[in-house]
Amino acid sequence: MTTQAHDNSAPVQIGAVAAEVPLSNRQRTLNRFLRHRMAVFGSTILLCIVLFVTIGGVIYSERDANFNDVSRRLQPPSAEHPFGTDTIGRDILARTIYGGQISLLIGVTAVFMSITVGTTFGIVAGYYGGIIDALLMRFTEAMLSIPTLLLLLVMAKYFAGRIPTQELFGRTFSGSVIVIIGIIGLTSWMGLSRLIRANVLSLRESEFVTAARAIGASDFHIILRHVLPNTIAPVIVATTLGVAAAILSEAYISFLGLGVQPPTATWGNMLEGSRSHIDNAPWLWFFPGMLIVLTVMSINFVGDGVRDALDPRSRE
């Protein structure tokens, strides 16, 4: 938030008009968000889920999540295993915690990637225009015209098994996690880049950019200091909604057998692995399923709230 406030004050150097505007804007935005009851509700649930996977990660080690004992398979929830055990006797509570970390990690990093690509494309295309714009936008359209799920599947198949297991921050990540993050990120940036391009196109002609150009600021400087901060609203909305979509995408790819591969748990592949036991071991799908639904739902609530809050037209 600090960068945003700082960057928002940039026009002040030139215009020297209302220095108080950014702050009161923020205040008003926050108020609008807080009045959105469902957004507040969503944020609360989301916070609980984040606490669940982080504090849970302190209580249970990753070893607990992968520790198996086939003789204790498919045990219903009990004091020892509050969420029951899975097909090879792993503790589902520990797996939902570590699976949640991976699912959320996939959601956040995939979206970060998609935002990076989308923003870069959008800004470059919009700011420079001409042939660069035409090329980038044709490419964007090409990507847009293929149904995302089909493209995801083709790419998931292409990359499957090609990325080796990685060690990061003392944790082992199956190569498939990186594949899934990559392909979700690379198939979800197009909408955002079009949106940003449109914004940049109108900004390009705005007074403060013209002014900045007049005082000899470089393109890079103008983009970084003036254009980027002013396109932040659509990016924030796209980010929130994108995380939810990415978590769902991961579940769909898992369903089709191309997702993150066990033993690395994700909510999606836990759900997929439970499908033969819908009837006889409902705890297998109930907990990961519930967590996916809650997470996606609350993120969408938050996204809805952020959209309303950032939209100057909505005043209730």
Partner 1 sequence: MYKYIIRRLLQAIPLLFVVSFVIFILMQSSGDPLATMGGRMPPRAEDRERLRQSLGLNDPIYLQYIYWLVGNDWRMVDSTGDGEPDRYGTRRGVIRGDFGTSIITRQPAMQVIGDRLENTLILTMTAQVIIIVGALFIGIFSAVRQYSIWDHLFTTLSFIIYSIPVFLLGIILIYIFAVQFRIWGLPHLPTAGMYDPIEGRSFGQVARHLVLPSLTIAFISIAGYSRYIRSTMLEVINSDYIRTARAKGLTERRTLFVHAFKNASLPLITLIGLDLPLLIAGAVVTETIFAWPGMGKMFIDHLNRSDTAVVMALLMIITLAVIMAQLLIDIVYTWLDPRIRYD
Partner 2 sequence: MRIKRLLALFAVLIFAVGAFAPVGAQGNNAVVLYPQELDNLNPMYSSMFFMGITTDLYLAPAWNFDDALEPNPVLVAEVPSVENGGLSEDGRTITLTLREGLTWSDGEPLTSADFLFTYQMFSDPANTPNTTYPYGEADGIIESVEAPDETTVVVNFVEPFAPWVATLFTAGILPEHILGPEFEANGTLIDAAWNRAPTVGSGPFVFAEWEIGSFMRFVRNDNYFGNAPSLDQVILRFIPESDVLLATLLNNEGDLATFIPFSDVPALEAAGLEAQVVPSGFNEQWVLNIREGLAHPAMLDVRVREALALATDREAFTENALLGYTYPAPGYWEGSPFASPDVSAPPFDPERAAELLDEAGWVDESGNGIREQDGVELVLRYVTNVRGIRQDAQAVFQQQLADVGIGVELITYPSDVFFNGFAEGGPVAIGDYDIAQFSQSPSFPDPNTTVFRCGQIPTEDSPDGNNYRGYCNEAVEELFAQSERETDFDARVAIFHQIDELIAADFVFVGIWYDADTWIVSERLDNVAISGATPFWNVADWVAN
The verdict on 280 binding partner 2 (CB under 8 A) reads yes
Among 34, 47, 48, 256, binds partner 1 (CB under 8 A): 256
Closest CB to partner 2 among 139 and 255? 255
Question: What track of x and - describes contact with partner 2 for positions 246 through 265 (by CB under 8 A)?
Answer: -----------xx--xxx--
* Structural Rg of the chain based on CA atoms: 23
The closest alpha carbon to 270, from 251, 298, 296, belongs to 251
Which listed residue (10, 12, 88, 233) binds partner 2 by CB under 8 A?
Answer: 88
CB closer to partner 2, 126 vs 262? 262
Our finding on whether 61 is near partner 2 (CB under 8 A) is no
Place of tokens 């700011």: 127
Around 47, how many Cα atoms within 13 Å sit in the side-chain half-sphere?
6
Whose tokens are 């990120």? That residue is 185
Q: Which of residues 16-75 bind partner 1 (CB under 8 A)?
A: 38
User: Which of 176, 187, 199, 295 forms a contact with partner 2 (CB under 8 A)?
Assistant: 176
Q: Burial of 280 by CB count in 10 Å (0-12 exposed, 13-18 middle, 19+ buried)?
A: exposed
Shortest gap between Cβ of 115 and partner 1 (angstroms)?
A: 21
Stretch binding partner 1 (CB under 8 A), from 24-32, 168-176, 231-239, 273-281: 273-281
Distances (CA, A) of 169 to 73, 153, 251, 311: 31, 29, 25, 39
Residue 211: both structure tokens together: 């002014």
- The CA distance from 294 to 223, in Å, is 38
Site string for partner 2, 64-83 (x = CB under 8 A): --xxx-xx-x----------
